[in-house]
C-alpha cells in the first residue's frame, strides 16, 4: 500500500512539473535536458564542431541537446542501458566504471575532446549522505578519466549531490582544472541536493 502511495505521489508530481510537460513539447526524452540548457546558457559551452563524451547518457536528453547546440560535432554516448539512436552519435552500452568500457570509449576517440559531461547517479537509497557519497565517487571516476583526454580549454560537467564528499570533489577539480564552479540550475528540483560541478581549462 505504501509503495502504491509513493507511486501515485510521483505520478502527480510529474504531472505538475513544468519541465516534464515542456520536454514533451520540445521533443526531449527527459526533463534533465533543461539542466544542461541552463548550464550552457550560463557558461557558454556548446558550439559547432566539438568532440563530446556523454557519460550516464540514458535516456538521452543531454545528448539530444548537445547535438542540437553543437552542429557538426562528434558525440559518444555511454550508459549501462540500451538507448534509442540519437543523430549520428556513437553509442556504447556498458558500465563506465569498468576498464573495458573506458577502453571502448578511447578507441572511438581520434583527437582530444572538448566536453566530457556526466549525469551519472547511483540508484538512491533514501539516505541522502550515502547517496551523495556514492554519486560523488562516480563524479570522481568520470573526472579522473576525463582529465587525460581533454583539450586545454575543455569543459568537464558532472552531477554532484551537496554534502557527502563535495569538498573532496571540488579539491580534485581545482587540482586538475584552472576554473571550477558549482551550479544548481532552476530546473533542478528545489527539494533535491543535486548540483553540478563545471570545470574548465585543464592544468
Q: Is 159 a catalytic residue?
A: yes
CA distances from 1 to 4, 116, 124, 140, 165 (A): 5, 42, 21, 38, 35
> CB 127: neighbour CB atoms within 10 A?
10
Q: Is 41 exposed, middle or buried (0-12, 13-18, 19+ CB in 10 A)?
A: exposed
Say if CB 173 and CB 143 are below 8 A apart. yes
CA distance 88 to 66: 12
Four-CA torsion 187, 51, 136, 56, nearest 10 degrees: 70
Q: Are 162 and 195 in contact (CB under 8 A)?
A: yes
Residue 201, helix vs strand vs coil: strand
Question: What nine digits make up the cell of 144?
Answer: 579522473
Q: Which of 81, 159, 174, 181 is catalytic?
A: 159
List, by residue number, the catalytic residues: 159
Amino acid at each position: 500500500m505504501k509503495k502504491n502511495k509513493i507511486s501515485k505521489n510521483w505520478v502527480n508530481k510529474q504531472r505538475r512539473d513544468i519541465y516534464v510537460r515542456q520536454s514533451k513539447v520540445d521533443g526531449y526524452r527527459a526533463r534533465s535536458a533543461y539542466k544542461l540548457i541552463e548550464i550552457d546558457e550560463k557558461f557558454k559551452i556548446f558550439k559547432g564542431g566539438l568532440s563530446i563524451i556523454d557519460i550516464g547518457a540514458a535516456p538521452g536528453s543531454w545528448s539530444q541537446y548537445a547535438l542540437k547546440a553543437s552542429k557538426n560535432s562528434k558525440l559518444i554516448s555511454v550508459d549501462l542501458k540500451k538507448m534509442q539512436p540519437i543523430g549520428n552519435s556513437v553509442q556504447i552500452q556498458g558500465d563506465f566504471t569498468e576498464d573495458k568500457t573506458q577502453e571502448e570509449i578511447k578507441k572511438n576517440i581520434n583527437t582530444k575532446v572538448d566536453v566530457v559531461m556526466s549525469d551519472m547517479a547511483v540508484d538512491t537509497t533514501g539516505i541522502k549522505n550515502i547517496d551523495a557519497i556514492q554519486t560523488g565517487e562516480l563524479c570522481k571516476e568520470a573526472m579522473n578519466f576525463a582529465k587525460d583526454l581533454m583539450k586545454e580549454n575543455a569543459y568537464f560537467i558532472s552531477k554532484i549531490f551537496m554534502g557527502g564528499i563535495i569538498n573532496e570533489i571540488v579539491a580534485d577539480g581545482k587540482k586538475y582544472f584552472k576554473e571550477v564552479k558549482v551550479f544548481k540550475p532552476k530546473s533542478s528540483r528545489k527539494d533535491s541536493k543535486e548540483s553540478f560541478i563545471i570545470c574548465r581549462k585543464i592544468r
